[in-house]
Amino acid sequence: MFRIIGKTSIDFISKRKYSFTVSGILLLIGIAAFIMIVLGRANFSIDFSGGAEITGVFEEPMTTEELRSALATEGLAKARIQTVHVGDTLAFLIKLKSGMIDVSEVAAEAQTERGDSLMVAELNTSEIIADKIMSILATEFPDNPFHRISSSITDPSIGRALKSSAGWMVLATILGILIYIWIRFDFRFGVAATFTTFHDVLLVLGILFLMGREVSILMVTALLTLAGYSLTDTVVVFDRIRENLKTFRRKGDFVSTVNLSINEVLSRTLVTSITTFSVVAILFIFGGEILRDFSLTLMLGIIVGTYSSVFMASPLIVVWENRSPKRFK
């Protein structure tokens, strides 16, 4: 197997006080971010907060900055603008969170213009908001028409349901990890792996929260992917520890056996992490704005997952063993 580094004999376990301190601080940030998300004070995407989006193209070239400036003059400075490919055409995707446009007011304007007496509830909300955006763009760019390709709306109640589902998915994943490791290895291994997975997800969540990134379905997907990646990395180390414990059973050998196991898989861990990180980095650079938060979450997760498999998961096993010695099989 290709080795990125030679044979090492690093005493990782002796560094556990430093790693626990760093992780503890970052975990507090992650927990605070999680609480803010639960309280609804995070930067949610339309998936969770509700809102509308419209996709279209201009007849003449237009920059994102020009479009953003035009919407800002109409009180829509917080609208999110992305460029997307629709076939061979480069289009603009405009996202408006719930509350940015007063639907009742716009509907009343639409009724007045049409001269009918339809109730607001009978109107297509997606069409109302799309027409409002079209009207704004027609006013701001009279010589460069904007042609709508599609429009849709997400009701806030649907967003709340999605948030609840996302939370249950994460909890189910963590529980599955605990059961899997418990069956394959040992209960304390399962607890260590589960805590490490929580640690990784919360650390990445905290970093993204501090960066002001949008909490979206793609981010949740990336966090679930991260949980699986973290587990795989941890299992590799745990598997080597289990194999080496069969050889070194003498009392007092546990710490040295864990250190030996980490050093034996260190090169493999680094090769896997660097290779995966490189692929995701390419996705981050060339995948477009829509996939940027997804790939950023994965890149952070790879870094945190590699760190935790070495400096968190195994040291936790050592701490537990020191406090409650057990004859591992």
Q: What is the pLDDT of residues 22-77, one digit of tens each?
A: 999 999 999 999 898 888 787 777 777 777 788 889 988 888 888 888 888 878 87
Instruction: Say what the pTM is.
Output: 0.77
Q: What is the pLDDT of residue 6?
A: 67
**At which of 131, 154, 177 does a domain end?**
154
The neighbour count for residue 171, using CB atoms within 10 Å, is 10
Same domain, yes or no, for 95 and 210?
Answer: no
What is the pLDDT averaged over residues 130-137?
A: 82
**pLDDT for 117 beyond 50:** no
**At which of 154, 181, 196 does a domain end?**
154
What is the pLDDT averaged over residues 104-110?
A: 55
Residue 136 placed within a domain: yes
Residue 1 placed within a domain: no
Work out the pLDDT band at 116, boundaries 50, 70, 90: low
**pLDDT for 273 beyond 80:** yes
Range of the domain at 249: 13-43+158-323
Burial environment of residue 6 by CB neighbours within 10 A (0 to 12, 13 to 18, 19 or more):
exposed
Q: Please state, for a pLDDT cut of 90, what percent of the chain lies above it.
A: 18
What is the pLDDT averaged over residues 120-125?
A: 49
**pLDDT for 252 beyond 70:** no
CATH code at position 35: 1.20.1640.10
Q: What is the pLDDT of residue 120?
A: 46
